[in-house]
Homo-oligomer: A and B are copies of this chain.
Amino acid sequence: MQIFINPDRSEWDSITKRPVMNTQDLVGKVQPILAAVKQRGDDALKDYSRQFDGVELDEIIVSANEIDAAESLLHAELKSAIRQAAKNICSFHEEQLSPQKRIETMPGVFCWRKSVGIEKVGIYIPGGTAPLFSTVLMLAIPAKIAGCKEIILCTPPQKDGSVHPAILFAAKITGVNKITKVGGAQAIAALCYGTTSVSKVFKIFGPGNQYVTAAKQLVQQEGVAIDMPAGPSEVCVLADETSKPGFVAADLLSQAEHGADSQVLLVATSLSIVQNIQAELELQLAKLPRKELASKSLKNSRVVVFNDISNAIELVNLYAAEHLIISMENASAISDHITSAGSIFLGNFSPESVGDYASGTNHTLPTNGYAAMYSGVSVDSFVKKITVQELTREGLHNISKTVIHMAEAEGLQAHANAVRVRMVNA
C-alpha cells in the first residue's frame, strides 16, 4: 500500500482518483452485440451462449422444474440464511414506501404525490467465480415492495447449461417472474429490445463486467433507464487510535478479495495504528483462498495519515466511497460530518459484509466517486412518483391572478386563458 502522510491539498485529487477505464474500445465491441440481438432476438442470444458461455441452449427461459429442483440442492442452513437476509432487507426497504400526504398549498389548492411501481424491470446477475444470489435479494425485494408487475432476471448459464441453485432459490422466494439464461452485453440488449424469451423492460438494474456496464450506458440512449453508472467496488476505512487493527485489516481484505481492480483506501489519524493494521493484513492475507486477487488489489491501495481529523473527514468526503467504515469509538459523531458515501458502517461491530448480505440496507451502491450525486438502490429506484393536483372552484379563483401574471410575463397567453376561461364560464 502506498502511504501519504499529511499530504498537501494539491495532492488530494490524485490520491482520491480512480483508475480511468478506456470505454471507447468497449463501445466498439458492444455495439455489434446490441445490433445482433435487436435484429435476431433469441437466435442471437443462443449464438452468444455458444460463443461466450460454451453452452448450447435449447431453452433460454429457466423452467419451473429447474426452479423447484434448486431448492433441494441447497443446504438447509444456506436456505435459512437467505431467508433471514430477505426478511431483514424487507423490513428496511418497506419503510421506504412513503406516500406524501395531500397538502393544501393555498385554500382550495390540493397537491400530492402517488408512487407507482415501474411496470417492467430487468435484473442482471453476473456469473463467474461467485454466484451473486445476494444481489437477487437486493434488487428483487425492493422491486416487489415498489409494486413492479414484471421482474425479469438475466444471468449467464454455467458450463452445464444450468443456473446456480442459490440464484434460482433467491429468485423464487422474492417473486421474480421470469429467469432467463442470458449473460453479458447480450442480456442488456435483450432487456432493452425484447426477444421472444426475454421481455422488454423500462429499467435495468444490476452489476456486471465492463461489457455489461458499457451496454447499460449505450441502451440508456435508446430510452431505457438504468440504476446507476457502475465501477469497481471500493471501501474506505476511517481509523484512529481507538480502532481494532485486526478488524480493520479484515474489512480491507473483504473488499480486496472482490478482484484486482477493487479499491481500498485507509484514512487514519495515527501512524502507529496504520503500522498495526499492516501487520494484521499480512497475517490474515496469508490464510485467504483468494489471496492472489486480494494482494494485487492491496498493491494499488492507499493509506493517508493526517494529524487532525478534520482533514481526514474532508478527504473522505472528496473520495465519496461506495462503503465507508468508521472504525472509531466516536463513529456516530464523526458520521454527522460525512456528506458523501454510498453506505456508512459505524463502530467496531459493523463490518461491510453485514451490509453486503443481511443487515437490511441495499448493497447496490454508487462507486467511482458517484456517491457525490447518486444514492444507492432503494424502493425509490423502482417507483415513479406522480404528482397529482386538484383545485376547487375557489382554489382556482385564489390562485388565478398569480398564474395569469406569470403566464403573461412569460409571453404565454394561452396558459393565462386556460385559467380565465374557467373563471368566466364556471
A376 within 8 Å of B by Cβ? yes
Partner of A409 from the list B166, B370, B371 (CB cut-off 8 Å) is B166
Partner of A98 from the list B98, B357, B410 (CB cut-off 8 Å) is B98
* CB <8 Å contact, A373 and B378: no
Query: Inside 8 A of A348's CB, which chain B residues have their CB?
Result: 422, 426
* CB <8 Å contact, B341 and A414: no
A217 within 8 Å of B by Cβ? yes
Extra inter-chain contacts (11) besides given A84-B106, A223-B370, CB under 8 Å: A85-B406, A130-B411, A202-B372, A223-B368, A253-B417, A290-B411, A332-B390, A353-B407, A353-B416, A354-B391, A375-B385
Q: Report Cα–Cα, A407/B253, bound state, in Å.
A: 13
Q: Which of A239-294 contact B (CB under 8 A)?
A: 244, 246-247, 250-251, 253-254, 256-258, 284, 288-290, 294
Task: Give A374 Cβ to nearest chain B Cβ, in Å.
Answer: 6
Task: Give A129 Cβ to nearest chain B Cβ, in Å.
Answer: 6
* CB <8 Å contact, B202 and A350: no
The residue among A386, A393, A426 with the most chain B CB atoms within 10 A of its own CB is A386
Q: Which of A345-384 contact B (CB under 8 A)?
A: 345-362, 368-376, 378, 380, 383-384
Q: Which of A120-148 contact B (CB under 8 A)?
A: 129-134
A333 within 8 Å of B by Cβ? no
Residue ID in chain B nearest A284 by CB atoms: B417
A162 within 8 Å of B by Cβ? no
Residue ID in chain B nearest A383 by CB atoms: B375
Query: Inside 8 A of A389's CB, which chain B residues have their CB?
Result: 343-346, 350, 354-355, 359-361
The 0/1 profile, CB within 8 Å of B marked 1, for residues 82-108 of chain A is 101101100110011010110101100
Q: Report Cα–Cα, A415/B360, bound state, in Å.
A: 16
Task: Give A411 Cβ to nearest chain B Cβ, in Å.
Answer: 4
Residue ID in chain B nearest A362 by CB atoms: B387
The stretch of A43-51, A150-158, A395-403 in contact with B is A395-403
* CB <8 Å contact, A81 and B372: no
Residue ID in chain B nearest A365 by CB atoms: B387
Enumerate chain A interface residues (CB-CB to B < 8 A).
23, 75, 77-78, 81-82, 84-85, 87-88, 91-92, 95-96, 98, 100-101, 103, 105-106, 109, 111, 113, 116, 118-119, 129-134, 166, 202-203, 217, 221, 223-225, 229, 244, 246-247, 250-251, 253-254, 256-258, 284, 288-290, 294, 331-332, 335, 338-362, 368-376, 378, 380, 383-393, 395-396, 399, 401-403, 405-407, 409-419, 421-422, 425-426
Q: Report Cα–Cα, A377/B251, bound state, in Å.
A: 38
* CB <8 Å contact, B415 and A356: yes
Residue ID in chain B nearest A257 by CB atoms: B414
Query: Inside 8 A of A294's CB, which chain B residues have their CB?
Result: 414
This protein's copies in its complex: 2
* CB <8 Å contact, B393 and A349: yes
Task: Give A255 Cβ to nearest chain B Cβ, in Å.
Answer: 8
Given contacts A370-B223, A391-B349, contact A360 B116 (CB under 8 A): no
* CB <8 Å contact, A92 and B119: no
* CB <8 Å contact, A390 and B350: yes
* CB <8 Å contact, A109 and B387: no
Query: Inside 8 A of A130's CB, which chain B residues have their CB?
Result: 410-412
